[in-house]
Structure 1
Amino acid sequence: MSLVINTTTPEGIVLAADSRQSYRNMKGMARIGSENAIKLFEINRRIGVGITGLAFLPEGGVQKNVSQYIEEFRRGSKVKNMEVKEVARKLHHIFDDKYHWEEQLDQIKANIQNDLSSKGCTVLQMEKDGDLLKFSFRTPQGTIENGMARADPIELLVAGYNPDGSHQVYSVAVPGPVQKLRDSKKPNMEYGSSWIGQGDVAARIVLGFDGRIQNIEFVKEAIQARSELEIQGQLRGLEYAIQWGTMTLQDAIDFATLMIQTTSAIQRFSDGINADPGDMPGVGGPINVAVITPDHGFVWVKKKKLHFEDSVVDLDRKPRL
């Protein structure tokens, strides 16, 4: 699943990502496919993109790496002058067109039905709600249980500077929407940190909880008794008071890499949570880091290079004639 983190400060924008590529084999077992995947991309001199989620999509009878779609897009003639918002929307359009997630949801539906049937359960209801599959079933003991599933997402963080010098950060989800996360022209939206992928550890550290807290019964009851907005507001009181608006670029790099290193370490020693065991250790391998500043644009701070023993190949180096 991976982890990509953006930290936006007055000095510039940081994008960091791990390099592990994982998958589930035909038996449904989690496997590590590679520790060398690149998940950060320079779109133009001012804008960068990080991607998590599905690593391959079928095209023409073969599996195509999602990074190839981004590389094809960044080589387009009109990319140079694009704004951050336009890049986010166009990438959303590309992946929404290429990823037939409705078909995956149909397959998930069939798998759930077969699994429940094999356990002696009776399916009472199963219906699609947008990109969600909601279902209820009766156990052999007679209790009624509810469940929910969704297609594996493709998520992107698009961050950078517009031609007028303003900065923005957008999240892109397929299936899902394009959402603005940072905007230098909007008060209280200028600076901060966001993450996509397996962000539960980062969320617990920074926010004090992760999104699965809403699956706990007493939290559900509190939301019903009051409102989700009110409960979320109270929970945000647990968030660490980090002064993003005074953070230096080096501190932002240190923060982003710390979150990825910590996530990888926690996944090494754990196997999900007690309420939902069996998580995939999807974060690992070398950390790639890029920064984007108004003066210097997109610059790699650290990017793993091809190598054989003591030899190193730098694909970013321009050939000499």
Structure 2
Amino acid sequence: MRIALYHLENILDKTNSILQQITDINPLILKQIILNCTEEYNQIISQNIGEFYTNNVENISYYSRDIEAVVTNNINIDKIPMDADDINKIVSCVSSAIISECYSQIKTGIVIAGYGEKEIFPSIYEYLIELKLGDSLKYTLVNKSEIGISVDEEKSDSAIMTFAQSEMAHTFVTGINPELEHKLKEEIINIVGPITERYEEVRNHLNLPVGELNEEQTNILKTLGDSIIHSIITELEEIQKEKHIHPFVQMVATLDKQQMAELAETLVSLTSFKRKMSMDTETVGGPIDVAIISKGEGFIWIKRKEYFDSKLNNHYFTKDCQYTRRDFND
């Protein structure tokens, strides 16, 4: 039910700032605000309907009482006059959110990499997973890469994929910190986007005749603003690809297995070092496990840390013990 609570909190987020101000003054207004936020959240959900939703509309109904308990325990129904219909609207919204493609913070990720029985070249798939309902697993394919001889939109001759805290690897490959890149694009949109609203400034600066824009002129200016934004962002992305991404990925295609292992370890080490040298929480650190998967040799450890001191456990590294441990894991 933590997922239900997450979606309920999303609904209530917009009202949290006024809960204390309005609850004792006019509960009816607060009730209407919550119901309006519920309707807005329903609209978001309606745009994120997938196969999991279709297959589990009936299954989620078995948990309606639990979801209702989450709702009533987190909304002060003693002070906010909500009847059964109002509660049902919120419960229905939260239920739909759980089985929609809207993921909560409780989601996790899984990466599947390697070779199929018939594939000559490797592939890698990254999924988001949140819950299992009945016989259905709620998951979404986030990213994938397939290596092949014929390079097209589906396949490439090499690829680099990063997961979790990947800002340093992203910076190394693309030439710009992802947070800075996002902020830069956001500011371009904020500056150029409201060009029609800034018309008065432009008119005064150019000493143009006083007069309001008609609808046609407004649309022309808006189209111009959108075109400028698209041109700037496209040019930035092309420079990234030409100067950073493509040369790096092409270089990766020429590396042997040992060099690729060293590259992977270095990229993880960069993140660890950056975390250590900043005020951020150091969530990446310590020895790094490195492995290679190849068609002929399968899964091979290049570096692997143990939970014990190897000098004190020489017997572990004897042949018999290694076979025993491998069989046990199998």
Which has the higher Rg, Structure 1 or Structure 2? Answer: 2
TM-score (norm 1): 0.50
More helix by share: 2
More strand by share: 1
Give the number of the structure with larger relative contact order, counting CA–CA contacts within 8 Å between residues 6 or more apart: 1
